[in-house]
Amino acid sequence: MQTSYKNKKVCVIGLGKTGLSCVDFLVTKEADVRVIDTRQQPAGAEQLPKYIPLHTGSLNQTWLLESDLIVISPGLAVKTAEIQTALAAGIEVVGDIELFCREADKPIIAITGSNGKSTVTSLVAEMAKAAGLKVGMGGNIGIPALSLLDEVYDIYVLELSSFQLETTYSLQATSATVLNVSEDHMNRYVDLEDYRQAKLKIYHNTKTAIINIEDPLTTTEYLKNVVSFGEKHADYWLKTENSQQYLMAKEQIILSCDEMKLVGRHNYMNALASVALAQAANIDLGGIRSALRSFAGLAHRFQLAHMAHGVRWINDSKATNVGSTVAALTGLQVEGNLHLLLGGDGKGADFSELAQLINQPHIYCYCFGQDGPKLAKLSEQSQLFNTMEQAITQLRLNLTPGDIVLLSPACASLDQFPSFEKRGEVFTHLAQLS
């Protein structure tokens, strides 16, 4: 369902890669485009065509009220006063994913969740590629969704954040999932239920909803065609027999876990969700199995960064919320002691869920950054530092063979690093000095 934007006054809020993709799309649709960015010197301003008006440093309420359509960056909350004023005046407010969904004419697999969505999105895309399909992967990962329209694909695989889903109304996914729901972005949402409802929008008009049977927050009563994944009592489940584990689709063995490069229970759950999504979209089983065997995971997601002197250094910098750190710690096998690096910007989260997991004799916590003091209170075996580098300098003194050093900070990085990737790179560099 393509939409006409010709001669419509459209205000794009937010530059960067996503904002520029919106501008490019709307220009090709012959819209009358203006751009607003609340930053004084927004990234991407130099790439904006000179003839397009740009307002920086604030939200220009006059421009907003003169618009036929507002395309809002996922980084700006719809609850912002100026946006609410525009909505009250009857002006439509959407995001880039909504623009994409109005144009896309091929099947869409859609993935959201507090944790694991980048891994699942990438794995599903690899399954489709291995099955011989031309895959467009984007959204909250890789390239902006609208840029995918520049080429012809057989199928789209989209990672979608709660922020993106807030302003998406026309998504009709072939298969869609909310992998899990745990506290995140509590500085933007009223409470966990408010955040959950944003995630659940991914199921609207989906043909097959893939739910996590272990997490009741991932489902809702209005769903029709539901397929479940989980360790037990699910359509896609984990079978253990003679000390071997298998990915199962009901009674069919998909693959032995020993054949996968991904390890750990949380990754087996990610794999089950991926298989369910792919099969619901009729992706060939041969391609699914091939990708499961070859996919080695993503950088900064429970990645072995270094091993020396019998000590493993694991980079899980992408663990930017409590649920992700819980997933990393659950079922982690450690011969010696676990030296856990925690800290950063907790985004208003409640850290108390971690206390039970980390209060164990073999776990030592090294806390740093903006919310380091809160995290240090969770365990008696915690030390507090200003920076991650200071924490690592101290923990080196305590390492013995069989130990694990795990960066799984349960916080965003932006208090001290430009991104979680940079935080992971610094951790890896420091690890390799040992």
Active site residue 185: yes
Burial class (CB in 10 A: 0-12, 13-18, 19+), 305: buried
Q: Point out the catalytic residue in the list 29, 60, 129, 140.
A: 140
Contact 210, 273 (CB under 8 A): yes
117 has binding-site annotation: yes
CA 79 to chain centre: 22
- The residues near 183 (Cβ < 8 Å, ≥ 6 apart) are 114, 192, 195, 321, 322, 323, 349, 350
- The residues near 304 (Cβ < 8 Å, ≥ 6 apart) are 312, 313, 314, 315
Give the Cβ contact number of residue 357 at 10 Å: 17
113 has binding-site annotation: yes
Q: Point out the catalytic residue in the list 117, 129, 199, 266.
A: 117
Q: Point out the catalytic residue in the list 185, 300, 339, 347.
A: 185
Length in residues, the chain: 434
413 has binding-site annotation: no
Active site residue 140: yes
58 has binding-site annotation: no
243 has binding-site annotation: no
115 has binding-site annotation: yes
Contact 346, 371 (CB under 8 A): yes
- The residues near 338 (Cβ < 8 Å, ≥ 6 apart) are 332, 362, 363, 364, 403, 404, 406
Q: In one letter, which amino acid is 297? A: G
Tell me the backbone φ, ψ of residue 295, rounded to 5 degrees.
-70, 125
- Which residues are known binding-site members for ATP? 113-119
Q: Which residues are catalytic?
A: 117, 140, 185
For the annotated binding site, the residues are 113-119
